[in-house]
Amino acid sequence: MRTRLLLVGAAAIIALALIGLTIADGLLVDLMWFTSLGYRRVFTITLAAEVAIFLSIWLITFGAIAVSGLVALRLSHDRERLHVVRRGDQVTEVTLPELIRSLGDRVPWKAIVVVVAAILAVFVAQGEASSWDVYLKAWNGVPFGFTEPAFGRDIGFYVFQLPFWEELRDFFLTVLVLATAVGAAVYWARGGIDFRESPPYVSRGCAAHASVLLALFFLQRAMNYWLARYELTLHSNGIVFGLRYVDQVLWKPGLWVLVALAVAASFVCAANVGERGVRMPVAALLMVFLPSISLSLLQPMIERLWVKPDELRIEEPYLERNIQLTRRAYQIDGVDVRPFVGSGRLTPATHEQDSATIRNIRLWDPRPLIATYQQLQEIRLYYAFQDVDIDRYWIGDNETEVMLSARELNVELLPETAQTWVNRHLKFTHGYGLVMSPVNTKDPEGLPVLYIKNIPPESSIGLKVTQPAIYYGTLPDNYVIVKARTPEFDYPRGNDNVFDYYKGSGGVPLSGIWRRLLFAYYYRDVNLLVTQNIVSGSRILFRRNIVDRVARLAPFLNQDHDPYLVVHDGRLYWIIDTYTVSDHYPYSQRNSLGINYIRNSVKVVVNAYDGDTQFYVADPDDPVIQTWERIYPGMFKPLRDMPPQLRLHIRYPEDFFLIQAETYATYHMTDPAVFYNREDLWTFPKENYADETTLMQPYYVIMRLPGEQHAEYILMLPMVPQGRDNMIAWMAARCDGSDYGHLFEFAFSKDKLFYGPYQIQARINQNPEISQQLSLWNQMGSKVILGNLLVIPVGDSLLYVEPLYLRAQNGQLPELRRVLASYGDRTVMAENLDLTLAALFKGQPGAPPPVVAKTGPLSNPGNRVAARVTETAADHTTRVSTSLTAASEHYTRALQALRAGDWAGFGTEMQKLGATLAPEGSSH
């Protein structure tokens, strides 16, 4: 037995040593990583807070549990519990100590209690230390400067202090439960409690101990009732979020009564220590829980008999608070509401006035475009385009909307035979360059016109990329070693490869046996220790996924789902929008994510080459980010410190706009009567894509807002009434200049019907000529893909535009083949946007000519479609219509020949059909 105990002890010591080594190793790696990025102080502040919280909570928890256990040991000596044991064929009763002694030495009860208390305290302390942000915000919270009306408290109390007190309340209960459990276990083991008797035996010492614990429990209940008063502003009955009438008249005073009764019950239980009976504890329980149950039963009576018959009048002041504070919390209280009459007409004059809007209508949908990029520009099997971003650049004299994607390197795509440690961590270390194309043009084959393409990057617009290597991106993290003995693969050149060495300062120095040992243990990778490729000056780049990178540096910031790439000063940067959020803003409606406060407070910029990460405060008025600035001095920079040319690429983030639009769909109703009856609920419009119906997403456009003089970059989204498909309004957010973030609602007249996107798509499908053509393509081995249907406000009119792509049934290369447009009662389709608009304006005096982008000296020479437009708009329209009619005739004759068994005739008609549908100038 002694040997067995020694082995168990040795195993425990080894396990603890390994756990300690792992923790120390992780902390050292974190310290070096934070230091390399210039955020050593962030790491030390967070670590100091975690350690201080852990030690404090551990000491309190350990002390409470140990005291409870040791007191139980001292008070449980008056009676020993009997146990039945079998020795051979005889059954005897022995005391528990005798039973344990028969298995070995005398049980060290005090040691067991202390060890159990220490272990349990570790788990409790670890859980509390993981909530370090709650503690830091409570100690450093910045007031909001605005008080809520129910209790007259600053909003900062609810956002910062209330979560802290709730954390302490739950901690108090956890410790109390564990202390009670350990004490009860000791009493049971030593005979102080015996449930085999009737009634169950409880020693006098156990009764006294239980009275003290019950007194503490009622103090915890008092604390809970006190906090529950403030939590009345954070719950909902489906009509009002926050404190309501029944809370005001019943629960607000009732909870004060329960606080007083719980404190009184605590004194009653404390007085029972001397009496050690059951009457006083039972009286204490009834004193608190009977009134609590009575209040719960009284609530539905008040609601049914008093509130429901006149609910709107009674709840109106609370509805007003709910509306006001929800709009403030989601930053939609300043939405600029403007009427959109929709009575204007698209004419040559409006066409010219809004040429910037027309010129930047997006014809490429990111969903099919990513497949096109992958087919045309991945170049080698290990490169990958993960996402398509949308941005704007000044090209010549025009602000031009473009789509771009980073060419990242995914080592998982290497052939299985090439999946060596050297290749994964030393050779294939980075992606290379990007692809960029305008949103509105295509070449004669229906493919995007590429502004930036190939490896090394070639630019047709003068936008040079002098450092195209991408070491930090959106792919899963894979550590790499740079400045090693072996050169890195840089990029492919024909049948050869170009090799180079990393010239940046990113990463952590790796040379030296201790650092190699540290990282070898961290990654459980012995190659880091034995490889000969690590030399003086070698560095290890890790945490290269930019989302993970920002999350480790600032776990208190929520990130937007779409980081986007920017070309600035010849280098590549990632911009990530991040948010400060809370779920404790009083009276504010919680959304589907469980939050009820949000601000787009920080723009994070990550250098794709060296990983340098900078945090820029975009909303300096946000008290939450002011609190974090107070906690981490020097971590955040003002937005004005961002390089001016880089600042031109910041945009209003999609996730923030979606959350605001979702909330505004209900909370645009500011009249309590209208809000109560839900008379004007909105939602997002539906759209079809790839034979599936989805909700429309916001989209970026360059356009001139109604009533403004110049075009600008905005994020917009149409809105429709709940349960209907016609448009009721559209929302927009500015992305440019000093008025960044200005929100607009353009409200439609309710006396006039405005088609929604889903209705326009239905009209397209019902157009006989268009639907016939789509059916033809789908039956000829092609797959028709309809892209985003965009609603484009032009002046005081609405223009609907939808691109059409063709893809081979088994192919992966979508081609932009047609552009559909709808205006008024007309729906047309043509080969490109110019011809489509010409067809749309057919018959109007002074119908506009095709729009040609004025790109100046940096214009794209590949824009051949516009150059080919030589006929008049009317001629184009006639020719398109004639082609469709001829195609239909050839298709009908081909089917007739097929039914008659005339294979030669069938082949001839199909050839003629192909010739009719082929783009102009293509070979047949």
Does position 898 have pLDDT exceeding 80, yes or no? Answer: no
Q: How confident is the model at residue 913 (pLDDT cuts 50, 70, 90)?
A: low
Alpha helices in 276-397 (DSSP H): 279-302, 311-329, 348-353, 355-359, 366-377
Selection from 107-111, 724-728, 903-907 with the highest mean pLDDT: 724-728
Over the stretch 513-554, which tens digit does the pLDDT of each residue have? 999 999 999 999 999 999 999 999 999 999 999 999 999 999
For residue 508, the cross-strand partners are: 540
Phi, psi of 239 (to 5 degrees): -105, -50
- pLDDT given for residue 85 in this prediction: 46
**Helix/strand/coil percentages in the chain, nearest 5:** 45, 20, 30
CA 506 from chain center: how many Å? 27
pLDDT of residue 854: 34
**Structural tokens at position 658:** 């979606």
DSSP string covering 528-556: HHH-S---TT-EEE---BHHHHHHHH-TT
72 has pLDDT over 80: yes
Mean residue pLDDT across the chain = 87
What is the per-residue pLDDT across 781-814, written as a single tens digit (0 to 9) for each? 788 899 889 999 988 889 999 999 998 888 889 9
To which residue do tokens 């009737």 refer?
Answer: 198
Over residues 68-76, mean pLDDT: 90
Question: For position 354, what pLDDT does the model report?
Answer: 83
Confidence (pLDDT) at 75 = 86
Please name the amino acid found at residue 8: V
Q: Are 119 and 15 in contact (CB under 8 A)?
A: no
Containing H/E element for 404? strand 398-409
Asked if 491 and 472 count as a contact pair (C-beta separation under 8 A), the reply is no
Which sign does the torsion angle of CA 898, 901, 905, 911 carry?
positive
Least confident of 29-33, 57-61, 206-210, 326-330: 206-210
Please give the residue that has the higher pLDDT: either 796 or 151.
Answer: 151
- Provide the pLDDT for residue 733: 97
- In the prediction, which pLDDT does 415 show? 93
Mean pLDDT of 831-843: 83
Residue 82 reports pLDDT greater than 70? no
Q: Give CA–CA dist 730/792, Å, rounded.
A: 10
Distance, in Å, from the CA atom of 544 to the CA atom of 541, rounded to the nearest integer, reads: 7
More confident residue, 769 or 408: 408
List CB contacts of 738: < 8 A, sequence separation 6 or more: none
Indicate the angle between helix axes 40-75 and 109-129, nearest 10 degrees.
Answer: 150
Reply yes or no: is the peptide bond before residue 438 cis, omega within 30 of 0.
Answer: no
**CA–CA gap between residue 432 and residue 452 (Å, rounded):** 12
Q: What is the reported pLDDT for 867?
A: 33
% of the chain at pLDDT higher than 90: 67
Q: What distance lies between CA 855 and its chain's CA centroid?
A: 37
Q: Specify the residue for token string 């926050």.
A: 242
Residue 491, beta-bridge partner list: 498
Average pLDDT score over residue span 848-862 = 36
Q: Is 364 exposed, middle or buried (0-12, 13-18, 19+ CB in 10 A)?
A: buried
* Residue 99 confidence class, pLDDT cut points 50, 70, 90: low
Say what the pLDDT of residue 208 is.
Answer: 92
Contact 577, 603 (CB under 8 A): yes
686 - beta bridge partners? 695
In this predicted structure, what is the pLDDT of residue 863?
Answer: 34
CA distances (Å), 425 to each of 162, 486, 542, in order? 48, 11, 10
- The band of 96, judged by pLDDT with boundaries at 50, 70 and 90, is low
pLDDT value for 923 = 39
| Average pLDDT rounded to a whole number, residues 643-656 | 96
Q: Mean of the pLDDT values across residues 490-519?
A: 93
Q: Over 50: is that where the pLDDT of 100 sits?
A: no
Region 560-569 average pLDDT: 96
d(CA 354, CA 697): 24
pLDDT tens-place string over residues 170-203:
999 999 999 999 999 998 888 778 777 777 788 8
